[in-house]
Structure 1
Amino acid sequence: MADLSYCAERTGLLLIDPYNDFLSDGGKIFPMVKEIAEDVGLLDHMRAIVAATRRARVQVLHVPHRRWRPGDYENWNHPNPTQRRIQQRHTFEEGTWGGQWHPDFLPSADDIIIKEHWAQSGFANTDLDFQLKQQGITHVILIGLLANTCVECTGRFAMELGYHVTLVRDATAAFTREMMRAAHELNGPTFAHEIVTTAELIAALEATHGA
């Protein structure tokens, strides 16, 4: 970890699915992640990372899931199990509180909002790769939800495209501890270049920024 460093001009923070339905009391999915989220200090760590990246002038990119709209998935040949549940629950419904950004993670004027992803990868069928390349970004830091689905899939896709990938184990959450273990101890080491804590990441950002 001593050599961990992030050049601000080449680093991007990917803030994945920061919706009320995931992160706020009253959200459709929040009860399923609440225990893990509180255990790892999810919201405090996400807030701290966003603040630290802004201080370091690291580009923040919001990587949102598709907001449910009437008719979504109805005529699809192969909607996946998660999409079926979204269809039933109307998760992240467009025009509703649940489909709005959590108030602590509202985009700033300098942030980039990526096109909504339909499944689990923030890259598939979006402009994320294009936007990163246009900004000259080579290193991506992933925070948000869920650790073992959208965060993991986006991280894997990033690695396949040649990006340096950092996962932050206490700035994400999942439905179970087993899922968190899979994300960071079993699967993460097969594709992520760094798996760090919030404290380690912020220390690296501050050290690099100070230098």
Structure 2
Amino acid sequence: MSKNAIPHAYIDPPNPALPKVEFDIDLSTTALVVTDPQIDFLSSKGAAWGAFGESITEHNTVENIGRLFEASKRAGISVVISPHYYYPVDHRWDFAATGETLMHKLRMFDRRDPLSLEGFDGSGADWMPEYKLYIEDGKTIVCSPHKIAGPQTNDVIFQLRKKRIDKVILAGMAANFCVESHLRDFVEHGFEVAVVRDATAGSKLPEGDAYMAALVNFRWFANALWTTDETADRLASAAR
């Protein structure tokens, strides 16, 4: 199987019941939004690799996110990062749900202080090294951190509105958690959203295959569900 082929378990049904809708890229009003392109999710050295590594490897997620960055920069669309950071105060919350509790237990995305980058470089909260040339180019919009999964707690939607964006190409980690939460909130706020199915991944735990759970909901909520190859081709075509 080609590394860019959809794994057999996740191939779309031959006779889907859900209708197909169109999503046309307008370079001036389209942005790439990437959630959590960080070491703790995507690196074999990261805190969550044990839960997510199999799916990341299966979908070639790390390389595909990099290809999306490259294609988006080449096309000239806005690129927006919705990161995940935890500061010491966040570990003193009085309660947390299951996923939050796991992230706190693993000490994912930990930073020493919201106003300091001491200890940030190369930590689990840092960007994947191969993405830094795209994220740190002085043009990419890096938003304030979301705290659980969705953009309700950060400024992603504000930043998109200030750039007059109404179409979002969505990728990043994790499929059934931050990506799906961003998708749902974007749709509720009137954005058109195309999810890049092989530029994300999910946990594989005794509780189930989180990527499969997300994929079903992507099919319901997204305006389009593309591969990285298809997304790159569409961006290139729109830029001609």
Instruction: With the length of structure 1 as denominator, give the TM-score of the two structures.
Output: 0.91
Match of 2:100 in 1: 83
Structure 1: give runs of 5+ residues left out of the alignment: none
Which of 161, 167, 172 is residue 144 of structure 1 equivalent to?
172
Q: Does structure 1 residue 199 correspond to structure 2 residue 229?
A: yes
Match of 1:113 in 2: 142
Within 5 Å, which residues of 2 pair with 1:152-171?
152-171=180-199
CA distance in 2, matches of 1:26, 1:127: 29
Match of 2:152 in 1: 124
Which of 44, 61, 68 is residue 42 of structure 1 equivalent to?
61
CA distance in 1, matches of 2:126, 2:186: 26
Q: Which amino acid aligns with 1:69?
A: Y
Deviation by residue 1:58-107 (Cα, 9 ceiling, x = unmatched): 11101001x2222324243x422222222222111113511111112221
CA distance in 2, matches of 1:88, 1:206: 42
CA distance in 2, matches of 1:2, 1:118: 32
Does the CA-based 8 Å contact 1:138-1:164 persist in structure 2? yes
- Tell which structure's C-alpha radius of gyration is larger: 2
Q: Does structure 1 residue 33 correspond to structure 2 residue 74?
A: no
Give secondary structure in 1 for the equivalent of 2:76: coil
Within 5 Å, which residues of 2 pair with 1:46-57?
46-57=65-76
Q: How far is the alpha carbon of 1:2 from its aligned partner?
A: 11
Q: Which amino acid aligns with 2:229?
A: A
Q: Determine what percentage of the aligned residue pairs are the same residue.
A: 28
Q: How far is the alpha carbon of 1:158 from its aligned partner?
A: 0.1
Does the CA-based 8 Å contact 2:176-2:211 persist in structure 1? yes
Structure 2: give runs of 5+ residues left out of the alignment: 1-19, 112-118
Does the CA-based 8 Å contact 1:5-1:205 persist in structure 2? no
Q: Does structure 1 residue 12 correspond to structure 2 residue 12?
A: no
Q: 1:110 to 1:182 in 2, by over 3 A?
A: same
Deviation by residue 1:146-166 (Cα, 9 ceiling, x = unmatched): 001100000000000000011
